[in-house]
């Protein structure tokens, strides 16, 4: 049995996230259908992460096992799958790995990018790939505020629908906010992320920008461990899974 580790990128605008669902089109479903056409058999892929509806990936990994009788190498998988996938999903690389490798369970960290189009004028070419926000952003204030998230904390205040027994402690290694023209780029990396965690942290920073909370209030919001004290959940269109670490 061969095991392959595959890196891909996708525009999530047309998909209800990565993970297969019964009543909605997902990235996993489309990729598995392409693999079925290439290998002429049903193969389940294992993704490195769930992503929400409309969220994108600059770098996403999945792994899958296949029968050794199938004579196709890593290069053939890259070009074979790309020939069968739609234009909003691209296979970037493929390598054969140890049979025990699992794209999710072997992952030790992720980096997310969040892009805000900070302008009074909409851009029709970016409408599904950024979060549109017209109110002027003080990127230096938000960069200072973002540093409160760095470190090991219980992020229960920054996730949606967390079970009481769920471990909501995560370590954030980096959270930077920078401006490039009318684009605000936020980069956050950590050992793991909870459901909607990045989007809620971004929404909380936007509350700081709007004066609804003070940047110095963030440590207290973390300590409260209650979602109602954090900011809104920022839109999915600006979020990208940017890097995956193994």
CA 80 to each of CA 87, 92, 217: distance values in angstroms, whole numbers, following the listed order:
14, 12, 52
Which is the catalytic residue, given 11, 22, 42, 52? 52
Rounded Cα–Cα distance for residues 187 and 145 (Å): 13
Rounded Cα–Cα distance for residues 227 and 156 (Å): 7
Rounded Cα–Cα distance for residues 32 and 37 (Å): 9
Residue 52 annotated as catalytic: yes
**Residue 38: helix, strand or coil by DSSP?**
helix
Residue closest to 180 by CA, chosen among 113, 88, 244: 113
Rounded Cα–Cα distance for residues 152 and 97 (Å): 32
> Helices in 40-134 by DSSP H: which ranges?
74-82
Residue closest to 230 by CA, chosen among 160, 131, 165, 138: 160
Rounded Cα–Cα distance for residues 236 and 246 (Å): 25
Residues annotated as catalytic are 52
């Amino acid at each position: 049995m061969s095991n392959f580790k595959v890196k891909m990128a996708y525009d999530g605008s047309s998909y209800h996230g990565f993970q297969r669902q019964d009543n909605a089109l997902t990235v996993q479903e489309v990729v598995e259908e392409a693999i079925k056409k290439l290998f002429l058999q049903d193969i389940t892929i294992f993704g490195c992460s769930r992503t929400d509806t409309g969220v994108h990936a600059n770098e996403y990994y999945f792994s899958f096992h296949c029968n050794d009788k199938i004579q196709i190498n890593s290069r053939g998988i890259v070009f074979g799958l790309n020939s069968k996938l739609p234009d909003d999903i691209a296979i970037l690389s493929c390598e054969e790995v140890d049979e025990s490798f699992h794209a999710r369970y072997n992952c030790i960290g992720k980096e997310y990018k969040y892009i805000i189009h900070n302008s009074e004028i909409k851009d029709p070419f970016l409408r599904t790939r950024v979060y549109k926000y017209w109110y002027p952003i003080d990127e230096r204030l938000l960069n200072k505020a973002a540093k409160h998230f760095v470190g090991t904390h219980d992020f229960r205040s920054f996730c949606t629908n967390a079970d009481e027994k769920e471990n909501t402690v995560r370590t954030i290694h980096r959270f930077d906010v920078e401006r490039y023209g009318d684009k605000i780029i936020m980069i956050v990396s950590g050992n793991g992320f909870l459901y909607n965690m990045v989007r809620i942290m971004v929404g909380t920073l936007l509350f700081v920008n709007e004066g609804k909370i003070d940047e110095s209030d963030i440590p207290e919001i973390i300590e409260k461990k209650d979602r109602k004290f954090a900011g809104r959940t920022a839109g999915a269109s600006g979020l990208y899974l940017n890097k995956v670490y193994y």
